[in-house]
Amino acid sequence: MKKIFIILLLINAIVISVITVLVKNQSTESKMEILKSRFSKKHIQSVDHTKFAILQQQFKSPQDVTKACLSCHTERGKEMMHTSHWQWSRDEFIKGRGVVKLGKKNILNNFCIGISGSEQSCNRCHAGYGWGDKNFNFAKQENIDCLVCHDNSGEYTKATGGAGMPDSTVNLSKVAQHVGQSQKTNCGSCHFFGGGGNNVKHGDLEKAQLDCSREVDVHMSNEGTDLRCADCHTTNHHQIKGKMYSVSSMNKDRISCTQCHTQTPHKENIINEHSIKVSCQSCHIPTYAKVNSTKMTWDWSKAGKLKNGEEIEEDDSLGNHTYMSIKGSFMWQRNVEPEYAWFNGTADHYIMGDKVDTSKPININTLNGDYSDPNAQIIPVKVHRGKQIYDTKYNQLIEPKLFSAHKGDGGYWKDFNWDIASKIGMENIGKKYSGHHTFVRTQMFWPLNHMVAPSEKAVSCIECHSSDGRLKNLHGFYLPGRDENATVEFIGLGAIITSILGVIIHAFLRIFHNTKYNRKTKTVNPE
């Protein structure tokens, strides 16, 4: 009877534990299902653009398409005119500089340096048509490129070196009839390929995210919630939230994880409490450029080598260019561990004309903040290190003309003459070139926000809390496991060593005297 009871009890226990495990699994699964259904619900279009008569025509120019769009969406043109996607410039307040107009229009980087003189090529990614030189008319609404962001046919592309005009193969009426909300591919067509190729600039934004595992990007993965860019980069009257501090400066209109997650999402308080000084990204983006390589260095000083008058290209084992005559030499990396920086949401930039100190790498952009700043957190960054052209006499960086369609127009990529390219590039923005140049080290900081890994892949404690950890180059604060107070160590370890020595000496003396004493008593006793 007793045995049967025990056996029944055992069976019960097994059944209950199996059920609990199953129920638990089910709940995590269904949580993912809920998230999936919430975010990957297909948007049902309220109108079918194929049915509009105005779109059923053979468009002669892309501008005609825009006019057709604006004939219904009458106010959207005005909205677009005020966005940075159109202006490539924003009013930014920078401490020490005041309000300045900054953006891709006038800012430098250490990839293809700047747009001056190269608009035909660079401005392929402008959300407009025909910005081929400095005389572009920003007031003409028909120059807005609606399609690059709203094409849902997947067939729209812009021409190389075409100043933002669509490729000649594009069937404009088909594209115009298949417009809708911006998809990953729309944003990605520019933001994945900045710098002249996939994943060159950001390192955490690339074409692999269109179809990737949760390990690569837990948010964008089609195995998971399959978020579109615009799910987080929410948009109001064409003003899209989110800042990239390669071109932005102010702490506003930023995106944060807490748009969806709470401020205390971890079970362990101690991890939640890190958030006061450590950004979510620091732990949850353990590596970037997880699928395809990203460019880590760019040395322009090596550019210009020709073989029998012909340009040369060299590749690494993964097929990335390591040398190009027109651009110099590069280093690429895949699965890169980020560097880390304090960041309070404000940044400064190298602005054309700034004088520089060439004894150390010049910051193309500077992320502000330090430990004592209550608004600052540690963030992961990609640091892109470059060597780029600099005017030795005027002590400033040069924005050379790189692109030209034909030989003899002065673009470096055709004529390989830095002096002419520099002169044209600088004059184009109303600055002078002294005629003397060299190449100086520069660095650029790219905050990493994408390629968030699943929680189990997050950076573990010891990876920062150790003397040779990820944060070894961040100073000005006490990090347990990494830091120690030299005076405390000296006094404390001194006390311990003194104690040990004292004890040893004392014990030795005791044993020594003890044997002496015993001998004495022994010799005394017989008497």
Partner 1 sequence: MKKVYIYKAYERFWHWSQAFLIFFLAFTGFEIHGSFVFFGYQNAVTYHNMAAISFLILIVFTMFWHFSTGEWKQYIPTFTNIKAQINYYLIGIFSKAPHPTRKTELTKLNPLQKLVYFGLKVLLIPLLAISGLLYMYYRYEDGGQVKSLDIDGLSGIASAHTLGALLLIAFVIVHLYLITTGTTVFSNLKAMLTGYEEIENDEEEKNSGEKDFID
Name the site residues for partner 1 (rule: CB under 8 A): 262-264, 269-270, 272-273, 275-276, 371-372, 460-462, 465-467, 477-485, 487-489, 491-493, 495-496, 498-500, 502-503, 506-507, 509-510, 512-514, 517
Nearest residue (CB) to partner 1, 14 versus 500: 500
- Residue 142 or 373 with smaller CB distance to partner 1: 373
Amino acid at the residue 87: Q
Q: In this complex, which beta carbon is closest to partner 1, that of residue 36 or of residue 482?
A: 482
Q: Which residues contact 160 (CB under 8 A, 6 or more apart)?
A: 121, 124
Nearer to partner 1 by Cβ, of 317 and 521: the residue is: 521
- Which residue lies nearer to partner 1 by CB, 154 or 494? 494
Least distance from C-beta 370 to partner 1, angstroms? Answer: 11
Residue 447 tokens, joined: 């905050």
| Smallest distance from partner 1 to CB 451, Å | 24
φ, ψ dihedrals at 267, nearest 5°? -65, -40
The distance of closest approach from Cβ of residue 519 to partner 1 in the complex, given in angstroms and rounded to an integer, is: 13
Which residue, 127 or 280, has its beta carbon nearer to partner 1? 280
In the complex, minimum distance from the CB of residue 258 to partner 1, in angstroms, rounded to a whole number? 10
Q: Which is nearer to partner 1, 318 or 495 (CB)?
A: 495
Other Cβ atoms closer than 10 A to 490: 10
The strand pair at 313-315 and 235-236 is best described as unpaired
- Smallest distance, partner 1 to C-beta of residue 283, A: 12
Distance between CA atoms of 137 and 144, rounded to whole angstroms?
11
> Cβ of residue 347: shortest distance to partner 1, in angstroms?
24
Each as own residue / partner, the long-range contacts of residues 253-260 (CB below 8 Å, 24 or more positions apart, any chain) are 254/345, 255/449, 257/281, 259/232, 259/234, 260/232
Q: For the CB of residue 20, give the shortest distance to partner 1 in the complex, in Å.
A: 24
**H or E stretch including 239?**
strand 239-240
Nearest 5°: the CA angle 191, 445, 122 is 40
Q: Residue 29 in 3-state DSSP?
A: helix
Let me know how many helices (H) and strands (E) the chain has, helices first.
14, 17
The answer to whether 226 touches 424, Cβ cutoff 8 Å, is: no
Cα 235 from Cα 111, distance rounded (Å): 29
Give every CB contact of residue 440 below 8 A, 6+ residues apart in sequence. 356, 358, 362, 387, 388, 390, 397
Q: Which is nearer to partner 1, 211 or 337 (CB)?
A: 337
Q: What whole-number distance in Å separates Cα of residue 502 and Cα of residue 500?
A: 5
In whole angstroms, how close is the CB of 464 to partner 1 at the nearest point?
Answer: 9
